[in-house]
Each structure stands twice: as C-alpha cells, then as structure tokens.
Amino acid sequence: MTPEAAVAELRAAGNAERAAGAAAYHKAPRDYLGVKVPEIDDMARRWREGMDVPARVALASALWDTNIHEARIAAAKLLTQARIKDDEPVWRLVVSWVPDFDAWAIADHACDAGRRRIEADPRRIGEAAGWARSPDMWTRRAAPVITQPWTKQNHPKPQDLAIRDRVLGWAAGYADDPEWFIQKAIAWWLRDLSKHDAARVGAWLAQHGDRLKPFARKEAGKYL
C-alpha cells in the first residue's frame, strides 16, 4: 500500500456533508474528507496485513504528513497494536507527532497508539513527563491522555502505583490551568482511577480539588 493509494481510498469513502461538519466541529485548519472512524479502522487493519513494522511506520509517517484529518487518524490506527516487536521506531514516530496536536480527535487516536508503547516499556513515561510542563496546551494534555492505562489496573504492582503517583503529581501541577481541555483531561484521569483506587483520588481531591473548575471537580468525583 502506497501513501497515494491509501489517500485515494480515503477520498473515495468521503462524504462532503460529514466533511463540512467535521471541519466546523474540530476547527483545525486542514482538509476533511468525511470518512467515519470505523471505516478508517477497517482500512488501516486491511492495509497493515502483511506489512512489517518499518513499512507500517513509513506509511503512517507519510499519511500524517498529508495533514488530512482522516489520513492522520489512519496513521495512528496503523500503529495501534498491543504487541509490536522492535517497537522503538513506532514510539519515536508517535512522539514526533505530539507537537502537531491541535484537535482532540487526532490527538486521542495518536495517544491510543502511544499508550500501547508506554505499556510495553513504562520507562517511556519519562518522555511524557516533559509534555506535562509544556507551554502548549495540546502537548500538556497528551501527558494524562497517554497514561490512561494506569487508571485501569485492578492489581497494580509497586511500579504501577509509582506511575499513578507521578501522574497525579503532574495533575496537581496544572489543576489551576484555565484550559477546558486540560481540566477535562484531569477529570477524566481521576474519574477512571477512582473506579480502581478510590483512596488515591479521594486524597488528591481533598488536597487539590478546590483548584479545579467546578465541572472538572464534579466529574473527577463522579464514582466516589
């Protein structure tokens, strides 16, 4: 599968009305084709059949560089897989995309690919720690979004608890952040963690909850 053929397939599946709606909703300046995400998922799954990791990385990189909304989602989908042998090139490509984040949908699909790679090698958390201090809102947001797996473990190991505490530290660092997307990301992380570790979330909210926006404070404590 060449990048040109992949883009042509995406364009053929497009819908002008959906494209206009997506452009108005996401507001990021790029081309929108109006292809539904399940269709993109099916295409990416089919494209990657028989492709080795270097070929998938090359195709994903080329699709991302088109700056087409659906092509960037497809790029992330090509790399969203739990087990990838010799995955460092995949991780490095996802990391290279983070400065390009400018809308939640593309960012979340890219972070979904990145989550699998952080789970495969939790030492990569150190790179996300730098994002938490970024002046760019979308880069800051990527730190809690890409570390979502640590909110969901029922039987965390000591190193997993250490990662939870590390991310909660990042959250404390920008609990006062005025950006809606940052507040939502913190609330989402805390809400999901509360289903598995209510004590940690309760302690965090007792110390920092008043600094959150009211909607985020309510969402974070939804299951407590």
Domain harbouring 132, CATH code: 1.25.40.290
pLDDT band at 83 (very low <50, low <70, confident <90, very high): confident
Which residue from 40, 9, 4 is spatially nearest to 22, judged by alpha carbons?
40
pLDDT band at 223 (very low <50, low <70, confident <90, very high): very high
The last residue of a domain, from among 89, 120, 151: 120
Q: What rounded mean pLDDT belongs to the chain? A: 94
What would you report as the CA-atom Rg of the chain, rounded to the nearest whole angstrom?
18
Query: 12 versus 84: which is more confidently predicted?
Result: 12
Report the predicted TM-score, pTM, of the whole model to 2 decimal places: 0.90
Is the same domain home to 101 and 191?
no
The last residue of a domain, from among 105, 120, 135: 120
147 Cβ neighbours under 8 A, 6+ residues apart = 115, 118, 125, 128, 163, 167, 189
pLDDT tens for residues 99-132? 999 999 999 999 999 999 999 999 999 999 999 9
Is the Cα dihedral 150, 37, 66, 31 positive or negative?
A: negative
pLDDT band at 217 (very low <50, low <70, confident <90, very high): very high
DSSP state of 178: -
Is the same domain home to 107 and 144?
no
pLDDT tens for residues 158-181? 999 999 999 999 999 989 999 999
DSSP symbols for 6-56: HHHHHHHT--HHHHHHHHHHH--SSB-----HHHHHHHHHHHTTT--HHHH
Q: Considering its fold, how many domains does the chain have in total? A: 2
DSSP state of 101: -
pLDDT at 152 > cutoff 90: yes
CB 111 within 8 A of CB 117: no
pLDDT at 17 > cutoff 90: yes
Q: What is the pLDDT of residue 128?
A: 92
DSSP symbols for 63-97: HHHTTBHHHHHHHHHHT--S--SS-HHHHHHHHHH
Is the same domain home to 152 and 76?
no
pLDDT tens for residues 184-207? 999 999 999 999 999 999 999 999
Please give the residue range of the domain that contains residue 173.
125-224
Is the same domain home to 115 and 4?
yes
The last residue of a domain, from among 66, 87, 120: 120
Which residue from 148, 140, 87, 96 is spatially nearest to 117, judged by alpha carbons?
87
Is the same domain home to 18 and 89?
yes
Is the same domain home to 14 and 110?
yes
Q: What is the pLDDT of residue 175?
A: 93
Is the same domain home to 224 and 137?
yes
Q: In this structure, what are the phi and psi dihedrals at residue 18, rounded to the nearest 5 degrees? A: -65, -35
pLDDT at 84 > cutoff 90: no
pLDDT at 15 > cutoff 90: yes
pLDDT tens for residues 63-78? 999 999 999 999 999 9
**d(C-alpha 142, C-alpha 153), whole Å:** 20
Is the same domain home to 61 and 169?
no
Is the same domain home to 147 and 134?
yes
Three-class secondary structure of residue 130 per DSSP: helix
User: In terms of C-beta density within 10 A (0-12 exposed, 13-18 middle, 19 or more buried), how is residue 100 classed?
Assistant: middle
Is the same domain home to 59 and 159?
no
Is the same domain home to 91 and 178?
no
Is the same domain home to 153 and 90?
no
Q: What is the pLDDT of residue 68?
A: 96
Q: What is the pLDDT of residue 50?
A: 83
What's the token pair of residue 100? 């390009």
pLDDT band at 81 (very low <50, low <70, confident <90, very high): confident
